[in-house]
Amino acid sequence: YPASCWKWHYEHGLVIKAISEVGAASGENRFHGIDQEWIDHFVNEKGEICTYRVSEFNLDQVNPGKLLFPLYHRTGDGRYAAALKLLRSQLRDQPRTPSGGFWHKQIYPHQMWLDGLYMAGPFYAEFAVTFNEPAIFDDLIHQFMLIEQHARDPQTGLLYHAWDEARAQQWANPGTGCSPHFWGRAIGWYVMALVDVLDFLPSEQPHFAKLIDILNHLAHAMTRFQDPASGLWYQIVNFPNRPGNYRESSVSAMLAYGFAKAVRKGWLAPEYLSAAQRAYHGLLENMIRVDARGALTLEGTCSVAGLGGNPYRDGAYEYYIKEPVATNDFKGVGSFILAALEMDRALESNI
């Protein structure tokens, strides 16, 4: 992963955060400073972020900003504070749906995607604590409750990938505004967002318990669709036997991480640690390959999936299953590392 390949991009932010957490957990010098080296590649002396544009109003571009918080706390360097406040300014002006939900991007009007809760939510929560802006919490809780209210399917309890409040998109159900399918990784992003935001949300905050309830209901719904043979989840969660569907690595790693962390924090019952462990072992047995040099490869990650755009993505089943499947994709690798760290913590604490 040479510097020439670095990008201010959500999946790069995810994998660098995961590596830095390995360093914090292990104390190994080889991981020390990777977060600062990466951030300093982009952030100049004025706190400006190379390649980042507020005017794009792209929630994906907020996620790497989480790496700034530990650097600011360690060094007190004003340029890190300036960069954090620059990203905060995007969320202050982010276009919103009539109900107050963040548009996923400027180019996706009136649409909330589950992905966006992870891309902006944990950053937003940590900013509230770091810069003493508690009013953020009400807005942040509203984002989670709003998308859950509209994207949740009453029959399965699963969440659709996205919701178009304007009901203007070809992919949007004319009645509900929801996209057609339950995409595994979108739900994985949402679960990770919940458990990472809850780290910062004061327990006395109104609706704190509501987020715990949302997490529990979604965990219950997802475990019903966990593959009993492998412990993994499918690309389209509720159609395991439909032709073309496949067991997908990133959702399995994300849920392993989210469930295990939530059990450790007391937000989910201990039984969900078993679901997390089954998923993690399923990844080890089915998706990890070791080459002749001893290097690991993670297989089975959907490279990308979205809605709308040009060429237009209609959210049909055939669309999701035909997107390329990648090896060592950062969305899978970063989530897998975070899941592995939670597995270690579970062993250490004898949960």
Q: Mention every residue, 6+ apart, whose C-beta is less than 8 A from residue 311.
A: none
Distance, in Å, from the CA atom of 285 to the CA atom of 292, rounded to the nearest integer, reads: 17
Cβ atoms of 78 and 47 closer than 8 Å: yes
> Can you spell out the DSSP letters for 25-45?
HH--GGGTTHHHHHHHHHB-T
Q: Which of 35, 115, 196, 329 is catalytic?
A: 115
* Residue 180 φ then ψ, to 5°: -75, -25
Beta strands of the chain (E only): which ranges? 111-113, 162-164, 233-234, 247-248, 288-290, 296-298, 301-302, 325-326
* Residue 243: other Cβ atoms inside 10 A: 7
- Cβ count near 43 (within 10 Å): 26
Verify whether residue 115 is a known catalytic residue: yes
Q: Give the CA radius of gyration of the chain.
A: 19
Rounded to the nearest 5°, which phi and psi values hold at 49?
-115, 115
* 223 alpha carbon, distance to own chain's centre: 18
The two three-digit tokens of residue 131, written as one number: 């810069």
Residues labelled catalytic: 115
